[in-house]
Amino acid sequence: MSTDSTTAVATGDPSSVHRGAPAGEPLLAATDLVAGYLPGVDILSGCNLVVHPGELVGIIGPNGAGKSTLLKALFGLVTIRSGTVTLKGEDITNNAADALVRRGVGFVPQNNNVFPSLSIEENLQMGLYQAPKKWAERFEFIVDLFPTLGERRGQRAGSLSGGERQMVAMARALMMNPSVLLLDEPSAGLSPVRQDETFIRTRKINRAGVSIVIVEQNARRCLQICDRAYVLDQGRNAYSGPGRQLMNDPKVIELYLGTLATDVETATTKPDLLPGSSTPPTP
C-alpha cells in the first residue's frame, strides 16, 4: 500500500493541493440563491457557490441540506426564486437544461439517473443527443472506461444493478465531453474499487481542464480529491475552504464527516486537530 505517497501529500501545505485558480473571473457562480419545490418553502436560502476554470469543487453536508437542490437549481431543473447564476459571466439563471447542455454543462443526477426502458447503448446515445456525429468516437472512449457497458450495450438499463446504473449515469454525462460537470453522488452504490476509480477518474477529467462540482456523501474521499469544498447545511453555506483544510476541521468532522473512516488518515494528519487521535493506527 502506498502509504508513503499519502503522507507526502497530506502533510504538505494545504494550499499546495489547491490547483485551481481561486482568483480572477469565476467560470460558474451562484449568488444568494433562493430556490425550492413547494410554494412558500425555500430549500436553498441564500446559497453561494463559485467555480473557477479548471477547479474541482466539492459539496458535502448532511442529508436534506439542499446539495442536490443546489445542483438542480444551477442546472435549471428547480426554479430559482431569487439570486443569480452566471456561466462565464453570462446570466444563466433559470435557463432550460437543454440550453445549458449546449453550452457545455453536464449533469449526473442523484436519483433516477438512467432511462430504464432504453438499452445501455441508447442511454449513451441520449447523452450525445446534441452531437450525434461524434458517436463512434465517444462510444469508444466510454467503452474504454467502462468495459462492462460495452459488453452489455443491449441490456435495458431498468434491469441493471444499482452499481451498474451508476456507471451508465456517469458514462451518459461524459458522452458530451462537457466543460463543466455537475456530479451528484457519483460513487453511491459502487463497489470500493469502482469508487476509487470514479474519484481518480474525476480528478483526471478535471486535470484535462474540465471544471467539476461534485456532491458526495463519501465525504472524506471527496475532500481528498477536490481543490475547494463547501459544506452546506439547511440551504446555506456552513463552511468553505480547501478540501484538506475542511477534512481536518474538528467542527466539520464532528458534524459532517464522522470518525468511522478516520483510521486511514489518523496516522498522518495533525494529531492535535483530531479527537481520538491518540488511538493507534490500524495494522
Ligand X SMILES: Nc1ncnc2c1ncn2[C@@H]1O[C@H](COP(=O)(O)OP(=O)(O)OP(=O)(O)O)[C@@H](O)[C@H]1O
| Interface residues toward ligand X, by CB under 6 A | 37-38, 43, 61, 63-69, 110, 159-164, 189, 217
Strands laid side by side in the 105-108 sheet: 105-108, 180-184, 211-215, 56-60, 228-233, 236-242
Residue nearest to Mg ion (CB): 68
Residues 232-261 that bind other proteins (CB under 8 A): 243-244, 254-261
205 binds other proteins (CB under 8 A): no
- H/E stretch holding 38 reads none
- Partner touching 265 among Mg ion, other proteins, ligand X, none, CB below 5 to 8 Å by kind: other proteins
Q: For residues 139 and 176, is the Cβ–Cβ distance under 8 A? A: no
The interface with other proteins within residues 101-140 (CB under 8 A) comprises 101-102, 107, 109-118, 122, 125-127, 129-130, 132
**For residue 57, what are the contacts with CB-CB under 8 A and spacing of at least 6?**
20, 49, 51, 211, 212, 213, 214, 226, 227, 228, 229, 230
CA separation for the pair 139, 125 (Å, rounded)? 9
237 binds, among other proteins, ligand X, Mg ion, none (CB under 5 to 8 A by kind): none
Q: Segment contacting other proteins (CB under 8 A): 24-32, 44-52, 80-88, 217-225? A: 217-225
- The torsion angles phi and psi of 233, rounded to 5 degrees, stand at -140, 130
Site for Mg ion in 11-70 (CB under 5 A): 68
Cβ atoms of residues 217 and 223 within 8 Å = no
Interacting partner of 271 out of other proteins, ligand X, Mg ion, none (Cβ under 5 to 8 A depending on kind): none
Binding residues vs Mg ion (CB under 5 A)? 68, 110, 161-162
